[in-house]
Amino acid sequence: MRAIEPIPQSMQAAVLHAYDGKPESLRVEARPVPRPARGQVLVKMTAAPINPSDLMFLKGLYGILKPLPVVPGWEGAGRVVATGDDWLSRMLLGKRVACAAPNQRDGTWAEYMLTAATRCVPLSDSVSDEQGAMLIVNPLTAWALMDITRQGGHSAFVQTAAASALGRMLLRLSQHFGIEGIHLVRREEQAQLLRSMGARFVLNSEAPDFDAQLHAVCHQLNATIAFEAVSGMTALRVLQAMPEGSRLVLYGALSESPLMADPRDLIFQRKRIEGFWLADWLVGRSVWQQLRLGRQVQRALGDLLRSEVAARYPLSAVHCALTDYQASMTAGKRLLVMGS
Ligand SMILES: NC(=O)c1ccc[n+]([C@@H]2O[C@H](COP(=O)([O-])OP(=O)(O)OC[C@H]3O[C@@H](n4cnc5c(N)ncnc54)[C@H](OP(=O)(O)O)[C@@H]3O)[C@@H](O)[C@H]2O)c1
What are the sequence ranges of the domains in the chain?
Answer: 2-134+307-337, 138-279
At residue 285, the pLDDT reads 81
Per-residue pLDDT of the chain in tens (340 residues, 90 and over written 9): 999 999 999 999 999 999 999 999 999 999 999 999 999 999 999 999 999 999 999 999 999 999 999 999 999 999 999 999 999 999 999 999 999 999 999 999 999 999 999 999 999 999 999 999 999 999 999 999 999 999 999 999 999 999 999 999 999 999 999 999 999 999 999 999 999 999 999 999 999 999 999 999 999 999 999 999 999 999 999 999 999 999 999 999 999 999 999 999 999 999 999 999 999 998 878 878 888 888 899 999 989 999 999 999 999 999 999 999 999 999 999 999 998 6
Task: Note whether 275 and 250 are within 8 A (CB).
Answer: yes
Q: Between β-strands 201-204 and 225-228, what pairing exists: parallel, antiparallel or unpaired? A: unpaired
Any ligand 1 atom below 6 A from CB of 229: yes
**Residue 6: what residue type?**
P
Give every CB contact of residue 192 below 8 A, 6+ residues apart in sequence.
Answer: none
Q: How far is the CA of 254 from the centre of ligand 1 (A)?
A: 6
Q: Which CATH fold would you assign to the domain 138-279?
A: Rossmann fold (3.40.50)
pTM: 0.96
Closest CA to 306 of 174, 73, 142: 142
Indicate which residue's Cα is closest to atom 45 of ligand 1.
Answer: 252
Q: Reply yes or no on domain 2-134+307-337 having CATH 3.50.50.60.
A: no
Closest CA to 145 of 159, 134, 132, 135: 159
Give every CB contact of residue 169 below 8 A, 6+ residues apart in sequence.
Answer: 138, 139, 142, 304, 305, 306, 307
At residue 286, the pLDDT reads 83
Task: Note whether 336 and 313 are within 8 A (CB).
Answer: yes
At residue 188, the pLDDT reads 97
At residue 251, the pLDDT reads 98
Any ligand 1 atom below 6 A from CB of 188: no
Sheet holding 247-250, edge to edge: 201-204, 180-185, 156-159, 225-228, 247-250, 272-275
Any ligand 1 atom below 6 A from CB of 278: yes
Task: Note whether 36 and 1 are within 8 A (CB).
Answer: yes
At residue 340, the pLDDT reads 65
Any ligand 1 atom below 6 A from CB of 165: yes
**pLDDT (tens digit per residue) in 218-231:** 999 999 999 999 99
Q: Which of 51, 75, 103, 254 to mutate to test the pocket of ligand 1 (most atoms within 8 A of CB)?
A: 254
Question: Residue 80: beta bridge partners?
Answer: 43
At residue 289, the pLDDT reads 85
**Burial tier of 52 (Cβ tally within 10 Å: 0-12, 13-18, 19+):** buried
Euclidean distance between the first and final Cα of the chain, in Å?
Answer: 28
Q: How many CA atoms lie within 13 A of 173 on its CB side?
A: 28
